[in-house]
């Protein structure tokens, strides 16, 4: 789920930037984006922290740090701080990594196995406020074997564990003497990555400079700035004026640059989906019949066509239809007759204004969406319109995340989720009952013993067929017992000045713009000749 990064800082940025498209470039001084070795990118939000100990960069692609492994353009794992892919024990319970020679942190200190051990042990410490800790549940122990070897011992065979080791490594000699929750490392990080942070004006911009001693070679782009601009229209205007070199944009605004000379558009497929959380504690949303009727009433195809301008696909569950683990046959279109039959059978009778009721309780609830997010607003309004056709009244309300968070347990939210790499990475935190109400994990407080069992099976076995069956079972159970109404999978759209070679996109997670985008490999860009 989009975290607090979109909150007060983003709102402040919107207030500062709205209507001031002619203001000075955010990179002024360090790099104004006018030369081939300097880039200014407009993004919608910023992180709360730059510390991997608190979750920053946990899926890779941070430019400040490296993991033991990284992912290439096709998401295949490749060595990073490790010399090679891990040596895996015959029982699947040990993973051994040999560290690359000669790697230094940006302060000149050498990387050692102790830094790797410190990073993982700190994240696994319950005193550390890392909401992604459950992703490392399989880890029993991590230890150093000399200065250049790290051995992980697992509690159970966890097939996708290697994919978890893209997690960035931090220096013990810097972060070890600090409280991981409040220390200065959160805003003044030291890493092994291709760039170092040179300045951070909260709510306005982050500026990065190339690390000349990067083990992978000094980047050709010497400076890049992430300008934090919450308002989509302001980002587009500043990009068109030349104030920005690139930006993440919603479909309607990205389309306006399609035929512009001097810019290049990029479309990245993603696991990012929009869904409505339907809390089981809600007086109306807690009724399975209501949830089933909403699933049948929604017109996903229309949302893709009208809201996303075709830049996406219908979401029939948390996995996109082209994912190898997608459960074939669960695709379904709008079926208002089915929605009516479900509600009739459950005792929800048509009442005043066509809104159904069961006894004195009206089939009505509130749907919240984050202020300033036009794509979510449009999804919410379309959802409410479809629901009304089935006799369910959905009141759409915008709010800041400060307002939304304490209401997530009772009110529906137009939410965004999606992780790449393995089905376990996205489904467990979305659905497992043990994580209900744990921050933005399992926002719907979904509780299904059948889904829990399947998720645990998928997590704890290495047998490919058994894992495939487990994740198919999860998806089919979600059709019968939905805790969310899945709406669309969204393609991510970017527009950049056409001044560099080497730009590509990856299949992306929900989190995008800041860490993902054509700049995922900015250290490899080359100025056009």
pLDDT digits (tens, 9 = 90+) for 87-123: 999 999 999 999 999 999 999 999 999 999 999 999 9
What band does 320 get if pLDDT is binned at 50, 70 and 90? very high
* pLDDT tens per residue across span 376-399: 999 999 999 999 999 999 999 999
CA 453 to chain centre: 25
Whether the per-residue pLDDT at 32 is higher than 50: the answer is no
**pLDDT score of 337:** 98
Is the pLDDT higher at 36 or at 200? 200
Residue 485: the pLDDT is 98
Classify domain 273-490 by CATH number: 3.10.105.10
Q: Are 10 and 231 in contact (CB under 8 A)?
A: no
Residue with tokens 């948390």: 318
* Percent of the chain scoring above 90 in pLDDT: 83
Tokens of 461: 């076995």
Mean pLDDT of 414-424: 93
Per the prediction, the chain carries an average pLDDT of 91
Arithmetic mean of pLDDT, 196-202: 97
Q: What's the whole-model pTM score?
A: 0.86
Asked if 54-187 and 273-490 have one fold, the answer is no
3-state secondary structure of 442: coil
The whole-number pLDDT of residue 469 equals 97
H-helix or E-strand spanning residue 312: strand 312-314
Instruction: Name every residue whose Cβ is closer than 8 Å to that of residue 265 and which is 6 or more positions away in sequence.
Output: 254, 257, 258, 493, 494, 495
Place of tokens 């900015």: 522
N-terminal to C-terminal alpha carbon distance within the chain: 41
What pLDDT is stored for residue 131 in this prediction? 84
The b/e string for 506-523 (b: 16+ C-beta within 10 A; e otherwise) is bbbbbbbbbbbbbbbbbb
Find the angle CA(178)-CA(180)-CA(181) to the nearest 5 degrees.
Answer: 120
Helical residues (DSSP H) of 330-433, grouped into ranges:
336-345, 374-389, 401-404, 423-431
The dihedral over CA atoms of 493, 495, 496, 500, expressed in degrees to the nearest 10, equals 50
- Chosen CATH of 1-46+202-268+493-529 out of 3.30.428.10, 3.40.190.10, 3.20.20.70, 3.30.70.330: 3.40.190.10
Is the domain defined by 54-187 classed in CATH 2.40.50.100? Answer: no
The answer on pLDDT for 453 being more than 80 is yes
User: Residue 353 CB: number of other CB atoms within 10 A?
Assistant: 9
Contacts of 475 (CB under 8 A, 6+ apart): 317, 318, 319, 326, 327, 330
Q: What are the domain boundaries of the chain?
A: 1-46+202-268+493-529, 54-187, 273-490
The SS3 of residue 254 is helix
Confidence of residue 34 (pLDDT cuts 50, 70, 90): low
For the chain, the maximum distance between any two Cα atoms, rounded to a whole number of angstroms, is 74
């Amino acid at each position: 789920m989009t975290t607090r990064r979109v909150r007060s800082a983003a709102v402040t940025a919107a207030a500062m930037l709205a209507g001031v498209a002619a203001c000075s470039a955010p990179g002024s001084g360090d790099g104004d984006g006018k030369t081939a070795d300097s880039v200014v990118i407009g993004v919608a939000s910023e992180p709360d922290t730059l510390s991997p100990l608190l979750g920053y960069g946990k899926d890779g692609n941070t430019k400040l740090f490296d993991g033991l492994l990284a992912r290439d353009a096709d998401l295949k794992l490749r060595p990073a701080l490790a010399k090679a892919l891990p040596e895996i024990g015959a029982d699947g319970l040990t993973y051994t990594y040999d560290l690359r020679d000669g790697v230094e942190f940006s302060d000149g200190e050498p990387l050692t196995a102790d830094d790797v051990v410190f990073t993982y042990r700190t994240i696994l410490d319950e005193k550390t406020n890392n909401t992604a800790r459950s992703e490392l549940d399989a880890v029993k122990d991590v230890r150093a074997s000399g200065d250049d070897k790290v051995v992980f011992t697992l509690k159970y065979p966890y097939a996708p564990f290697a994919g978890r080791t893209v997690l960035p490594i931090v220096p013990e000699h810097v972060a070890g003497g600090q409280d991981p929750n409040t220390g200065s490392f959160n805003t003044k990080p030291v890493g092994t990555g291709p760039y170092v942070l040179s300045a951070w004006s909260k709510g306005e911009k982050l500026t990065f400079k190339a690390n000349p001693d990067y083990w992978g070679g000094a980047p050709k782009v010497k400076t890049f700035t992430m300008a934090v601009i919450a308002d989509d229209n302001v980002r587009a205007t500043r990009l068109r004026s030349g104030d920005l070199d690139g930006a993440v944009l919603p479909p309607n605004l990205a389309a306006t640059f399609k035929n512009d000379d001097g810019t290049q558009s990029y479309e990245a497929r993603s696991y990012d989906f929009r869904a409505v959380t339907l809390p089981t504690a809600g007086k109306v949303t807690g009724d399975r019949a209501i949830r089933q009727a909403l699933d049948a009433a929604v017109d996903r195809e229309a949302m893709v066509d009208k809201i996303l301008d075709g830049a996406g696909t219908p979401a029939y569950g948390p996995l996109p239809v082209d994912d190898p683990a997608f459960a074939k046959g669960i695709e379904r279109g709008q079926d208002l007759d089915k929605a009516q039959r479900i509600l009739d059978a459950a005792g929800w009778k048509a009442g005043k204004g066509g809104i159904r009721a069961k006894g004195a309780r009206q089939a009505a609830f509130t749907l919240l969406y984050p202020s300033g997010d036009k794509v979510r607003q449009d999804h919410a309004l379309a959802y409410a319109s479809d629901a009304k056709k089935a006799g369910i009244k959905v009141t759409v309300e915008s709010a800041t995340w400060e307002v939304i968070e304490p209401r997530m347990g009772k009110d529906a939210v137009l939410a965004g989720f999606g992780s790449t790499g393995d089905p376990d990475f996205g489904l467990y935190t979305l659905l497992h009952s043990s994580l209900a109400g744990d921050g933005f994990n399992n926002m719907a407080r979904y509780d299904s013993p059948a889904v829990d069992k399947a998720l645990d099976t998928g997590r704890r076995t290495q047998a490919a067929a058994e894992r495939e069956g487990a994740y198919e079972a999860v998806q089919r159970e979600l059709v019968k017992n939905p805790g969310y109404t899945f709406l669309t999978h969204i393609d991510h759209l970017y527009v950049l000045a056409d001044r560099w070679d080497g730009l590509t996109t990856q299949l992306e997670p929900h989190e995008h713009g800041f860490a993902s985008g054509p700049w995922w490999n900015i250290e490899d860009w080359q100025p056009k000749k």
